[in-house]
Amino acid sequence: MSSCLVPMKRKLSSATRSVSPPSLRRRLSPSKSSSTPNAGSDKNELTFYSWNVNGIGALLQKQIKFSSKSIYPLRTFLKDHNWPYLLCLQEVKINRNDETTQRRVELAANAGGLPHEPTYTTHFSMPKDKYNATGFGGKVHGVASLVRDDGPPSSVRRPDWDLEGRVLIHDFPSLQLTVVNGYWVNGTSNPYRNPNTGDVDGTRHDHKLRFHAHMLNLCKSIEKRNWNVLLLGDMNIAPKRIDGHPNLRTSPDQHVKNRADFNDKFFNQDNEDGLGGVDVFRHLHGEKRKYTYHGRGRPWGESCDRVDLIIASRKLVEAGAVSGTDICDTPKERGHSDHVPLWVSINVGKIVAEIDGYSNG
């Protein structure tokens, strides 16, 4: 197994840099080096992964082998990525009433494991909106989280305002840390219907902006308790020009407005009502070009976007607790999906020191 990349830390900056656009004909090549952290057995480093799987079915199918020792692709993923403490999956596309498939996910995460290997508990949030999440037999949206059983004690909750199966909230009390697994709304001009009456209530663009507001309120409520927050997931926004190849989406105009709203709410330090959070990939990798969405209709690297993000509370980053992050941008890592995984590592010692410093202050 290849060793992980160890990025250099960078000073926080709110300045916007000018970035020259790539050639329109340029096709990006897959990363030649591994971007998997080597921290699976280090209890002082907690690694969290995020991956929009675009349907979890392929991870539940064993390969046909003449051996009883074959394991499910989902457990293979966990093993190949050094047993992350939390795996956040988006777009699992499981009907909310399909308990059989939900049980199969936990089976696939654990079956065939050796006695010394970690085990996982699974959690789900499935859509229950009868007007806005009804396509494909209810197999739309949906998030799942796999929590390692030997990690810090944690609890999971689901916000009342999320009716489309988009959010799971993981609280780690001993670390005063909340990790949010989110599949954020994709803005379109399609109608959004009131989930109670079914009446048209604006568009999916309007719903996206409301979702931004809900997520910001969630983050602010967490930080108000003097906890830190980590947002992981497919946020359906490429924040800056550098995050789209060969171009950043600018039409229709509402996409530009959605991006501005997102950046203002979650990154703008001058917005006293915002989060003022840190895009950890940009913090640790500067202007490096890596992307998380690679559509399957075009050759690899021809058209791609960085829409899956990890956003951290600023004080978590300032404490030096965000020790690593990367994007696993290769066709192999994409697998059956149209997104690649990404990860972040958190230094437990730095978090504890930050908590102690606050308590003693």
Task: State the catalytic residues.
Answer: 183, 234, 339
| Known binding positions | 52, 91, 234, 236, 338-339
- Residues 6 or more apart whose CB falls under 8 angstroms from that of 40 comprise 47, 81, 82, 83, 84, 118
Specify the length of the chain in residues.
361
CA-to-CA distance for 293 and 280, rounded, in angstroms?
18
Over residues 167-171, mean pLDDT: 99
Is residue 279 a contact partner of residue 239, using CB atoms and an 8 Å limit? yes
| Known binding positions for Mg(2+) | 52, 91, 234, 236, 338-339
Q: Which CATH class is domain 45-60+68-360?
A: alpha beta
In the sheet that holds 304-305, the strands lie side by side as 244-245, 304-305, 293-294
26-61 pLDDT, tens digit per residue, is: 555 565 544 677 645 577 999 999 999 999 999 999
Q: What is the dihedral of CA 263, 211, 52, 85, to 10 degrees?
A: 90
For 309, half-sphere exposure in the C-beta direction (CA atoms, 13 angstrom radius) is: 24
Residue where the block lists tokens 């209890």: 43
CA-to-CA distance for 195 and 214, rounded, in angstroms?
16
Q: Model pTM?
A: 0.90
Quick one: pLDDT band at residue 87, thresholds 50, 70, 90?
very high
pLDDT exceeds cutoff 90 at 14:
no
Quick one: pLDDT band at residue 70, thresholds 50, 70, 90?
confident
- Indicate the SS3 state at residue 356: helix
111-164 pLDDT, tens digit per residue, is: 999 999 999 999 999 999 999 998 888 899 999 999 999 999 999 999 999 999
Neighbour-count burial for 65-81, b at 16+ CB within 10 Å, e otherwise: eeeeeebbbbbbbbbeb
Point out the least confidently predicted range of 3-17, 192-206, 240-254, 338-352: 3-17
Quick one: pLDDT band at residue 15, thresholds 50, 70, 90?
very low
